[in-house]
Structure 1
Amino acid sequence: MINTLKFRALELFLLFVIVPISLVLDWPMEGKLTLGAFGFLYVILISVFAEHPKFVKPNRDKWLSFLKSTLVKFIIIALVLAVFVYLTTPEKLFYVIEKPKIWLFFLGVYTLFSVIPQEFLYRTFFFSRYQVFFKNKNLLILINAGLFSLGHLFFGNTLVMIITFIGGLLFAFTFYKTNSTVLVMVEHMIYGCWLYTVGMGEMLGFPT
């Protein structure tokens, strides 16, 4: 039963729609944390005992292609975000690097406890388990990005939803193109760390 399409469809809806929405409802934080923990544990167990997602090691050509395309996108996005912060909250522009040790420590914690779990859940697990429902590549990427954005609903910030949707599009496209968890984690880390560095971390709940 666990691998039937109907069960997977229900599972997708519960994990990626119901759980994120439930986290914004008015009920104890302990319950929300417990629900999130059980949800992620469920994903791990399904991955180990049923899904067996493949972790593709990118070769040299994939790395070079990825780095070239990511560099171009990053320069454009980094400039746009820096200008946005400068125009809206100039006092926050790069203010986090005034304490370099705390800044570097957070970047490591963010990568380990946010980037890696999110990319495992939203790209590696999602594509391995639910790609079967989407015959159209663009629809798959669009839905994945939308659900990734929905996963940040608890921040209660429209700008966060927009940024995470755009990020979701980039990450989903990268994973679809390369099938590499490593590359998409690196990409997510780059953009997430830049958001914090440029001064937009507060809206995402980053320590400031």
Structure 2
Amino acid sequence: MDQAWVKSRGGEFTGAGEFFGGTAATVGRQPLPGISAINCTEQLGVAGPWSERLAHFRLAFTPSNGEELQSEYHVPREHAVAAIEAMRTLSARIALLLVSEVRSIAADDLWLSPNSERAGVALHFTWKPEQAAVEALLPALEAALAPFAVRPHWSKLFQTDAVTLATSFPWLDDFRALADRLDPAGKFRNDFLERTVFGR
């Protein structure tokens, strides 16, 4: 690890002194090495609305380097260390990685949230733009994380099937029932949703 981005409500973290052995940055940083931080959100303790600080990149600019693929898996917070250790067994194959992030996220009550009813840790991967190689790696990565009640990020690359997702997201059946009731003709569905959510 070479960076820790601390995002907090005003006054909760001053940014002064040490943070787990690291010292505060004196200039803005970009998650990817060697790239300017110009597109990143304000840093160095500059306060602002959460909608402009939660993301790493300014909304009007291209995020990251603009050409990578991403995956993200969420595990309960108590499984974070074991899940990271399991991923390290695949380090030779994860050479496709540009950068990764580990984020701690509070529990919520949203039906399809990866953190529904549990505090979690997000294990994020920004991949090189090699789609076939990334998709070939994902089943092994997901198998390594399976013992840790893993849930994928819905809008990033994953291979988990609808049957497994139904056991991972406790409110998925409720969402399916609501979708069937409000959209019986399936006008707001696509192939991805049919494969992952509805399993048809």
Please confirm whether the aligned pair reaches a TM-score higher than 0.5, indicating the same fold. Answer: no
What is the TM-score when the length of structure 1 is the normalising length? Answer: 0.22
Structure-2-length-normalised TM-score: 0.22
Structure with bigger strand share is 2
* CA radius of gyration, larger in: 2
Identify the structure with the greater helix proportion: 1
